[in-house]
Amino acid sequence: MDDNFQTLLQIHEIDLKIADITKKLASLDSGEVVRRQIAEANRQLDSSEKSLEAVDAEILDAELKLKTVEDKKKNFERKLYAGEVTNAKELASMEKEIEILAQQRGKLDERLLELYETRDQRRSQTEKLRNVVRELSLKLEQLSTEWETVSKKLNAELALLRVEREKQVSRITDKPLLQRYETLRNRYKDTGLAKVIDGKCSACRVSLTPFIMRQLKESGYATCESCARILVVVMESSAEKEPEI
């Protein structure tokens, strides 16, 4: 194997590491799912808080109406029992008014009990949603910290690998070979080269034909008839285990 292929093999190993790190970066949980969950929880919380405010306003209105009814009823009862009204017709009218006010008070009392129960339920729901938002926010903070730490480490490794790659690329004198490799690498998003392992292409795992095996024996390299990657033969004593592609 000439120097160009030796160097290309080193670039291949670097590219496999770059592809592996790139996949790890893509799989890192940056918290996007949790961010969407927080947004939805905040939307529900906002709706719940507005609903609670509406109930509070309705309770306040009902309590004011109840106070007005009770004040009127007490005033009529005071006049009735104080003997301020002696006319029979007026007395009957006042008694009727007191009866009507008592009915109104009963309805308001019943409505207020319903509203108080509704308020308790909505307060409980609102507090639960606040807790959900708090818990999700803490989870997001933890995920963001972990993502920043791991991604920083992986990006640093990527930077070093890319510097080394540029160094190795500059050593290639066979530019058409390099261009072919780069075209294949861009197509497969990992590497344009594969080793021959147990008579198979290490990338696509397809068994090589006798014709390709003969080419490899004669020149040390060939083209995989299945994936079109550049095939090279590496001596077992120096070959490293091929990473998964």
Q: What is the pLDDT of residue 63?
A: 97
- Strands 221-223, 200-201: parallel, antiparallel or unpaired by DSSP? unpaired
Same domain, 186 and 147: no
Conformational region of residue 83, where left means phi above 0, alpha means psi within -120 to 50, and beta covers everything else: left
- Mean of the pLDDT values across residues 126-139? 98
In a domain, 154, yes or no: yes
Asked, for residue 228, whether it belongs to a domain, the answer is yes
Average pLDDT score over the chain? 91
Query: Could you say which of 135, 166, 197 is where a domain stops?
Result: 166
Tell me the residue type at 30. Answer: S
| Calculated CA dihedral for residues 198, 201, 205, 207, nearest 10 degrees | -70
Q: Is residue 222 part of a domain?
A: yes
CATH number at residue 129: 1.10.287.1700
Residue 243 has pLDDT above 80, yes or no: no
Final residue in a domain of this structure, among 114, 144, 166: 166
Is residue 50 domain-resident?
yes
Q: From CA 244, how far away is CA 196, in angstroms rounded?
A: 14
Task: Please tell me whether residues 91 and 202 are part of one structural domain.
Answer: no
Looking at the fold, whether 60 and 36 belong to one and the same domain comes out as: yes
Residue 129 shares a structural domain with residue 211:
no
Least confident window among 11-20, 30-39, 81-90 = 81-90
**Is the domain of 61 the same as that of 131?**
yes
Q: Which of 166, 186, 207 is the last residue of a domain?
A: 166
Token pair, residue 46, equals: 């906002």
Structural domain range at position 181: 3-9+174-232
What is the tally of structural domains in the chain? 2
Residues 149 and 188 in one domain: no
pLDDT tens digit sequence for 137-166: 999 999 999 999 999 999 999 999 999 999
Answer yes or no: do 222 and 147 share one domain.
no
Cα–Cα distance between 108 and 66 in angstroms, integer? 6
Q: Which amino acid is at 92?
A: A
| Stretch 214-223: mean pLDDT | 87
Cβ-based neighbour number of residue 173 at 10 Å: 11
Question: Using CA atoms, how far apart are residues 14 and 35, in angstroms rounded to an integer?
Answer: 35
Given this model, what pLDDT does residue 236 score?
Answer: 55
Q: Hey, how many other C-beta atoms are within 10 angstroms of the C-beta on 160? A: 12
Q: Is the whole model's pTM more than 0.75, yes or no?
A: no
Instruction: Please write the tens of the pLDDT for every residue from 58-112.
Output: 999 999 999 999 999 999 888 888 877 778 888 888 889 999 999 999 999 999 9
178, 158: one domain: no
